[in-house]
Amino acid sequence: MLKLFLKAGEPIMNILAKQGFKFLWTHILSLALTFFLFLAFGWAIQKWGIYYFSIATSFFYISLIYSDAWNFGRLEGKAYNEVKETPVRALISSLIPTLAGVIFLLLIAFDFNSILVSFIAKIWYMPFLGYYKPETNISIFELTSSIAVLPITAFVAYFAGMKNFSFLEKLTFLKRKKKK
């Protein structure tokens, strides 16, 4: 049981907190990327709408989170690792960046200055901006959907990394096999 809580002498919460802050940093990085793309491709947003822009930024967001969680799972899935790997560890790590969304959700649910909170929540989840209704405050469903993306992506990616399964390697293998 003690091996579940220790990894190379470090408490489990320290490892999970480090990964959680890494997820938080990745979330902030995706916000910066979305903002940059928003400025760079403003003409495309005006021409085709923000919905298609959000499809692209959502893909970038999920890719960045997936990469972090996959590497986390791959490292913990090693045979010599002292920690019993489980995708629940990715869910626990994803609580740190998800906490802000939960706070927004509670503030909106209890109607606490919902215009300001909605504006801040839309900025915090900017990669999904095109999925929200533009003229209204963010709904609880929209916010819950945005909050759920990170933990679900982290869970799936951690599991894939734990099993050392890579979609890109699989696609490359199939493409090479098809050429021969």
- Mean pLDDT of all residues in the chain? 85
Residue 10 pLDDT level (bands cut at 50, 70, 90): low
**pTM for the complete prediction?**
0.83
> What are the residue ranges spanned by the domains of the chain?
9-179
∠ CA 9-87-99, rounded to 5° = 85
Q: What is the DSSP string of 148-163?
A: HHHHHHHHHHHHHHHT
Structure token digits, residue 16: 């999970």
Which residue, 69, 97, 81, 88, is CA-closest to 8? 81
Residue 173 confidence (pLDDT) = 67
Q: What is the pLDDT of residue 1?
A: 39
Helices vs strands, H then E, count in the chain: 9, 2
Provide CB contacts within 8 A for 145, sequence distance 6+: 128, 131
Render pLDDT for 102-138 as a digit per residue (tens, 0 to 9): 999 999 888 887 788 889 999 999 999 999 988 888 8
| 27-77 per-position pLDDT tens digit | 999 999 999 999 999 898 899 989 999 999 999 999 999 999 999 988 887
Under DSSP, the state recorded for 180 is -
